[in-house]
Amino acid sequence: MIGVPSTLTEAAAALRSGTLSSVALTEAVIARADALDGDLGVYITRMDNEALNAAAAADRDFTAGIDRGPLQGIPIGVKDIIATRDAPTTAQSLILNPAWGAGIDAPVVARLRAAGAVITGKTTTMEFAVGMPDANKPFPVPHNPWDLERWPGGSSSGSGAGVAAGLFFGALGTDTGGSIRLPAAYCGITGLKPTYGRVPKSGCAPLGYSLDHIGPMARSARDCAAILEVLAGYDASDPTCSHAAVPPYLAALTGSVKGIRIGVERVNHLTAPNADPVAVAAFEDAAAWFISAGALVEEVAVPYYQEIRSANTVTMRGESTSYHLGDLRTRWEDYGVHTSKAVSQGAIVGAADYVQAQRFRSLARRVVAAMMEPLDVLLMPTALMGAPRLAGLDHTSFMNWPTFTQPWNLLGLPALALPMGFTAAGLPLSMQVVGKPFAEATVLRVGDAYQRKTSFHLERPTGIAAVAA
């Protein structure tokens, strides 16, 4: 983005130094959206006037000496399955009642506003956070800013593409099987799925009740830490939300991984079918960097890995069908073709299957916790491929992709996706840092240390260069 900072952290510093106003910053991202979003499909609803009013309020606070924290005056996008009082929430679907969430801020949105953030609009998603892009429905199809013929990943598609393209400095995404981390991977940004219960998810249209997470997406781990400090913490409206104290995530970013115990997971990842050899080499380079930086690295294998993935799928299918069953019976044609297929599959998941998946889930949590006990984090790829082409996207092809996000939803562990290089075609590649329950501070510390010594997360998308010019 010409003339304004690259990251949320840099923008926050510029606002505090007085070299930039929030109104000027917001006007710049609005102008950028005017120029680019017709090609990108980042927004389903823009809130330009509301954003400018919020920016002016942030500037008045700065002038008065009121500092609400690092998000004050910062443009932020919100995924369109999260309720906002001043814009409709559609879940990018003809199904959702227009009255759903009307006039209400989800707790995470209320916390952003209280921190002085400038909400610029509602970002595109896959319908109800599942499925694939559907050009036959009256909603924008999101495109990847690195290559407009490719998908930015789902389901937090607009949030990922918008951060990468500079339409805002951070965004809210949701993640049930990888929907924060895959768009982060394919768009070359950073995204965090927190521990289950770390961030309240009330006011968010559900996909999998026991799998859904809300988390930050931004250019860097430091940016994500700043957003998480605002989002995290107990809220009585969400019965699954934890009372655990919220640590100072930014203060935990020491820049060092010396002595950090890292388990590198190759066994269930690097030999995956269809893995790009360039991606495998990039992951090995990243693992080698942690050794050179003084981390204590050892090779590990996650037990029951494939079974964990399968249990996540069974759980998500059963829970999503339970939410959609009535509408599936009466409004099948109003769903997108990919969504109806995805959310109806739970009809073949019997009660016994679902119960067995939860019994196994308890076992998996115990054995993975035992494996991780002597470690601080695990390291593995997010995906061993670049962003797929939009043409021909379907669930069959998706099942064959070398992506590795699902296990951490079933187990509820924090998982950070961050850039680690590029394919031969110049598409972003990504790795994951997975931590113990409520150990986001350690996960973010590891990611931030890597990003202080690399610049992959700062590279600008090439696909929008001609459009921007």
Q: What is the pLDDT of residues 149-163, one digit of tens each?
A: 999 999 999 999 999
**Percent of the chain scored above 70 by pLDDT?**
98
Whether the link from the prior residue into 179 is cis, omega within 30° of 0, is: no
Q: How far apart are CA 32 and CA 161, in angstroms?
A: 13
pLDDT of residue 265 exceeding 80, the answer is: yes
pLDDT of residue 250 exceeding 60, the answer is: yes
Looking up tokens 């005017």 gives 34
pLDDT of residue 119 exceeding 60, the answer is: yes
Cα 74 to chain center, whole Å? 18
pLDDT band at 400 (very low <50, low <70, confident <90, very high): confident
SS3 category, 325: helix
Q: Which CATH superfamily is domain 8-253+411-468 in?
A: Amidase signature (AS) domain (3.90.1300.10)
Q: How far apart are CA 365 and CA 242, in angstroms?
A: 17
Q: Are the C-beta atoms of 249 and 229 separated by less than 8 Å?
A: yes
Average pLDDT, the chain: 96
Q: What is the pLDDT of residues 13-64, one digit of tens each?
A: 999 999 999 999 999 999 999 999 999 999 999 999 999 999 999 999 999 9
Q: What is the pLDDT of residues 136-149, one digit of tens each?
A: 999 999 999 999 99
Q: How far apart are CA 92 and CA 42, in angstroms?
A: 12
Assign residue 178 a region (left: φ > 0; alpha: ψ between -120 and 50; beta: otherwise): left
Q: Are the C-beta atoms of 278 and 393 separated by less than 8 Å?
A: no
Catalytic positions, written as ranges: 79, 155, 179
Q: Which amino acid is at 12?
A: A
Structure confidence at residue 467 (pLDDT): 60
Structure confidence at residue 392 (pLDDT): 86
Cα 380 to chain center, whole Å? 17
Structure confidence at residue 2 (pLDDT): 45
| Mean pLDDT, rounded, for 311-333 | 96
Q: How far apart are CA 200 and CA 237, in angstroms?
A: 8
Neighbours of 323 (CB within 10 A): 17
Structure confidence at residue 21 (pLDDT): 98
Structure confidence at residue 4 (pLDDT): 79
Supply φ then ψ for residue 461, to 5 degrees.
-60, 135
Q: How far apart are CA 403 and CA 414, in angstroms?
A: 17
Beta strand pairing status for 415-422 and 170-175?
Answer: unpaired
pLDDT band at 468 (very low <50, low <70, confident <90, very high): low
